[in-house]
Structure 1
Amino acid sequence: MSEAARQPTASEPSRDDDDDDDDSEQLPEKEPSKDDDGDEEVTTGGPTLPPELLAEAKAAFAMFSDGGGRMNVRHLYTALRAVGVDATDEDVITVVDEYDPNGRGHITVNQWTASVARRWAEDGARRRRFRAMLVAGDPTSTGQVTVDHVRAVLKEFDPKLLTAADANEMVASMDFAGLGMVDYDEFMDTMVRPAPLDATISYDYP
């Protein structure tokens, strides 16, 4: 039998078999499903927590987790409050939308610390912006601003936070000498309560 007509034996793979083997080797690996219960690493590049605050956030996670590295999203509101975030329903929805879009019902410790770090950074920025707005009324750097300026800042910063009457009473309580002036650093320390994560703008006023 000539070489051209000879058929491959059982021990010799045909050319078609070789092609199939090559194709199988080039198939992409299966991507992990987002529904997998593994501890998904969060993307890098976002805000991070200082070591002591990271430890606080992880302690809160441990308090509300199931012991298996996951926390039910139903505990998010209470857990956020535990780390000093004046959480709202909107805050909880934001975390769930970002880290549990498929409705698994839980988040991992990495996702939790990332969400706390983001809120910490955002609220810290809000606090700095609020102080900068106060300082803008003190062009000669005396450390004081008029009560009218403080009222205007309160109204501009978050008009829904305080009523006009509340703002007036709040500012009046800081005008100790009755001269119509307020020390803005003292105002920040007294009326703008820093949360344990040194962040949330909230006013210690009934």
Structure 2
Amino acid sequence: MTDSHTSGRCGWCGTDPLYIAYHDTEWGVPERDSRALWEKLVLDGFQAGLAWITILRKREGIRDAFDGFDPEIVARYDETDVQRLLGDARIIRSRAKINAAIRGAQIWLEMREQAQNGGEDFSEWLWSFVGGEPIHTPFADYRQAPTQTEQSVAMAKALKKRGFNFCGPVIVYAFMQAVGMVNDHQTTCFRHAQVRAMAGHG
């Protein structure tokens, strides 16, 4: 016997209302906004070694502690800010992860400046690893999905080359799933078709 949350949704979100809401409204939705993509990459970096539900529960606190993830502000953080963050129980208090977020903001600004001068936009650059369009997978069970792919390995390598940290192939694949570069909602999940339609493949 299956209940509604297992028969109508991906099995990974369980019964936690926060997780269900995230699954039903955010996960897998194609995100094209450069700043939003950077924020999600930072959050996935903070997740390294932890469960995603931990980040979800702390997300608003992390967002507040990092000035709404405004890259212009975060890029200027100094040691005083690092100490403030290390003392903030609302976030993941890891100096390495905090420093990675600050450095990431600086790189994001550099890339935006390059984009204004004819270079690649951060969003376009990330989406280029999947050919600019979401990949729709045919898995009937979420456990069939891989933990990394050829695309996530390539993106992780490119991010590291630019100076980003906490962006290995597994973290990057989770990021790609979350921001809709890959539609890994299981095919039995009501969101699979909805997300496919959002991507223009309804």
Q: Which has the higher contact order (CA 8 A, sep 6+)?
A: 2
Say which structure is richer in helix: 2
Q: Which has the larger radius of gyration?
A: 1
